């Protein structure tokens, strides 16, 4: 309840500040509304209707933040991915209307209906964020970057949970490398760098490691087993069960055979010459 209570107090205090509105905080939304006002409406709606229509549209977008404050659905803040999803959905719907080239009273009805649907979509995104992504750490202290809907300011919120993150048993053989991994699932989502210090405590062969992130304690008792018995590493031939056998080189046999044939030929020639000259 700690993070939710702090956020609830901030949300209530934000009601006294100048109104912003989560969706209006997105640049792509303000650019889409500017295009609607300056480029699309002049050619698709009478002059006397434009100003009042745009005022109502902008106020409706600001009022997207006017949702019931509840720790399970909406606390006046969202993260950047949630805001991007809601902004993309809004701009997509508005672009669909402008590309249809609708005009007059039909245009007004389309815009009002789109605003109604998009507020419901934003409420679903906000509730999903609150249930799944707000302060996701189960223990320790997490620093989470959030956008305050009332002011459009991005601030770092401290998510404080129990400092007890459990115990991890570590077993290693003597003379082997010891690998300590203290990372939890939410560490990569936390703002700032994560660093670790490791200490050996007491005369026994036990270790514990401490996370420098405030409020996190993750002891890791170490059990040291006897050194593994030394084993000869078999050669490739022994490992496969194949023993080398002597082989004869076919090229050497051919060379010897050729030399013998040459000697016989030259011997025959010498004998013929000897008989001829006798």
Give yes or no for residue 96 having a pLDDT over 80: yes
Please give the model's pTM, rounded to 2 decimal places: 0.63
Could you tell me the end-to-end alpha-carbon distance of the chain, in angstroms, rounded to an integer? 128
What mean pLDDT is reported for the chain?
Answer: 77
Residue 34: CA atoms inside 13 Å, Cβ hemisphere, count? Answer: 7
Higher pLDDT, 13 or 248: 248
List b or e across 207-227, with b for residues whose CB sees 16 or more CB atoms inside 10 angstroms.
bbbebebebbebebebebeee
Taking only the tens place, the pLDDT of each residue in 104-143 is 999 999 999 999 999 999 999 999 999 999 998 888 888 9
Whether 11 has a pLDDT exceeding 60, the answer reads no
Q: Tell how far CA 258 is from the center of its chain.
A: 73
**Contact between 261 and 267 (Cβ < 8 Å):** no
Going by pLDDT thresholds of 50, 70 and 90, the confidence category of residue 38 is: very high
Structure tokens at 135: 């302060």
Asked whether residue 197 carries a pLDDT value surpassing 70, the answer given is no
Q: Indicate the pairing of strand 222-225 with strand 170-173.
A: parallel
Percent of the chain at pLDDT exceeding 70: 67
Domain spans, the chain:
2-156, 163-225
pLDDT at 244 over 80: no
Among residues of the chain, what percentage have pLDDT more than 90? 43
| pLDDT classification of 88: cutoffs 50, 70, 90 | very high
Length of the chain: 278
pLDDT at position 217 over 60: no
Q: What is the pLDDT of residues 61-76, one digit of tens each?
A: 999 988 999 988 999 9
Provide the pLDDT for residue 242. Answer: 52
Of the two residues 4 and 168, the one the predictor is more confident about is: 168
- Above 90 in pLDDT, residue 177? no
């Amino acid at each position: 309840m700690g993070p939710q209570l702090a956020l609830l107090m901030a949300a209530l205090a934000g009601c006294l500040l100048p109104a912003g509105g989560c969706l209006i905080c997105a640049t792509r939304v303000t650019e889409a509304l500017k295009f609607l006002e300056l480029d699309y409406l002049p050619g698709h709606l009478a002059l006397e209707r434009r100003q009042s229509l745009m005022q109502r549209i902008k106020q409706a977008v600001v009022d997207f933040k006017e949702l019931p404050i509840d720790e399970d659905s909406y606390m006046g803040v969202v993260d950047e991915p949630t805001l991007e999803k809601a902004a993309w959905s809004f701009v997509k719907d508005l672009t669909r209307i402008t590309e249809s080239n609708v005009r007059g009273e039909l245009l007004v009805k389309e815009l009002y209906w789109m605003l109604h649907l998009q507020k419901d979509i934003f409420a679903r995104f906000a509730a999903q964020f609150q249930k799944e992504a707000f302060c996701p750490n189960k223990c320790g202290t997490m620093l989470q970057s959030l956008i305050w809907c009332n002011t459009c300011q991005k601030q770092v919120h401290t998510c404080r949970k129990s400092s007890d993150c459990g115990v991890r048993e570590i077993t290693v053989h003597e003379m082997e490398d010891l690998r300590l991994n203290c990372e939890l699932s939410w560490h990569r989502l936390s703002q700032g760098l994560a660093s670790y210090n490791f200490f050996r405590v007491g005369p026994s062969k036990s270790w514990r490691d401490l996370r420098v992130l405030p409020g996190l304690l993750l002891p890791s008792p170490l059990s040291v087993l006897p050194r593994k018995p030394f084993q000869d590493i078999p050669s490739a031939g022994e490992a496969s069960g194949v023993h080398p056998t002597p082989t004869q080189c076919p090229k050497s046999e051919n060379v010897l055979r050729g030399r013998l044939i040459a000697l016989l030929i030259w011997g025959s020639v010498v004998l013929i010459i000897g008989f001829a000259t006798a």
